[in-house]
Amino acid sequence: MANSAKELIEEHAVIMKVIAALRKQADALSYGKRVPGTQLKETLDLLREFADECHHVKEEKVLFPALAGIPQQKKAVDAFLEEHARGREHLGVMTDTLYGTCAGNSVTIDRFAENADDYCALLTKHIQKENAIFAKVGEMFPDKENERMERAYAKVEKEELGEGKHEKFVQRAEKLAASVEEP
């Protein structure tokens, strides 16, 4: 059986493209440059709808409960969950400060940029740590369990995103990455 976590590792690559875009946007804002509001909104929408509401839910509902049953992995799973919670907090602040940031309010821009920086650093490390563990999921679990997890991911995706949406998200992330200018 192939590694059922392969699709999560592939999603990490997509999320990293959005994170790279957010980092450039945050740098541009810190340098006093304007970033188009529609572009900032698209970044936050992708992070919320794809990274948080789909990818993180697959991990939280399917893979993490399975991993937590392995005593050596319990600590890593606890850390991952705590990092998801912190990521949601940063995303919440960015969402709350989006309007003021687009309006050019300097205090709000600083707050947005600071949270964007923290979010990028947090998620980059988080994904590196997850990839190291996820790469071994094929060997950690019997074939039957890997197959069950694959089916469960498909179910989450259907419920959270809707059928056929995954490819659209990948395209949107690529379009965003291509459109964000160097700060």
Contact 25, 7 (CB under 8 A): no
Dist CA 44 CA 49 (whole Å)? 8
Q: Which is nearer to Fe ion, 35 or 46 (CB)?
A: 46
Q: How far is the CB of 131 from Fe ion (least distance, A)?
A: 8
Q: Which is nearer to Fe ion, 81 or 93 (CB)?
A: 81
Q: How far is the CB of 149 from Fe ion (least distance, A)?
A: 14
Q: How far is the CB of 55 from Fe ion (least distance, A)?
A: 6
Q: Which is nearer to Fe ion, 130 or 160 (CB)?
A: 130
Sites of contact with Fe ion (CB under 5 A): 59, 130
Beta-strand (E) ranges in 1-121? none
Q: How far is the CB of 12 from Fe ion (least distance, A)?
A: 6
Contact 54, 161 (CB under 8 A): yes
Residues contacting residue 22 through CB under 8 Å, at least 6 positions apart: 43, 47, 116, 119, 120
Q: Which is nearer to Fe ion, 24 or 58 (CB)?
A: 58
| Residue 180 backbone phi and psi in degrees, to 5 | -80, 125
